[in-house]
Chains A and B, each alone.
Chain A
Amino acid sequence: MADPMRIRAQSKDGVAKVRVLMSHEMESGQRKDSSGKLIPAWHIMEVTAKLNDKPVFSAEWGPAVSKNPFLQFDVKGAKPGDKLTIEWVDNKGEKRTDTATVS
Chain B
Amino acid sequence: MKKQLIPIAAALACLAAPALAQKSASQSIDEYRAMLQDGNPAELFEMKGEELWKQARGPKKGTLAKSCDLGKGAGVVKGAFVELPRYFEDTKRVQDLESRLLTCMSTVQGFDEKSIANTPFGKGEKANVVAMATWIASQSKGMQFNLPQSHAQERLFYAVGKQLFFQRGGPHDFACATCHGEQGKRIRLQDLPDLRGNPGDGVGFAAWPAYRVSNGQMWSMQHRLNDCYRQQRFPEPNYGSDATIALGVYMGVNAKGAASAVPAITR
Contacts and interface: CB of A to CB of B under 8 A. Distances in A.
Interface of A: 3-4, 6, 19, 21-23, 25, 28, 30-32, 64, 66-68, 70, 72
B120 to A, nearest CB: 14
A44 B60 CA distance: 37
A72 B4 contact: no
B41 A28 contact: no
B2 to A, nearest CB: 8
B39 A21 contact: yes
Given A4-B47, A23-B44, A31 B7 contact: yes
A21 B40 CA distance: 8
A31 B1 CA distance: 8
A6 B7 contact: no
A30 B2 CA distance: 8
B44 A28 contact: no
A6 B3 CA distance: 28
A68 B41 contact: yes
Nearest to B216: A67
Given A21-B41, A28-B6, A31-B7, A3 B1 contact: no
Given A6-B44, A6-B47, A68-B216, A19 B39 contact: yes
A3 B48 contact: yes
Contacts of B38: 19
A6 B43 CA distance: 7
Contacts of B43: 6, 21
Contact of A21 (B2, B7, B44, B216): B44
Nearest to A5: B44
A30 B47 CA distance: 30
Nearest to B51: A4
A28 B5 CA distance: 11
A3 B44 contact: yes
Contacts of A30: 1-4, 6
A95 B1 CA distance: 29
Given A6-B44, A64-B3, 9 more contacts: A3-B47, A4-B47, A6-B47, A19-B39, A30-B2, A67-B41, A67-B216, A70-B39, A72-B39
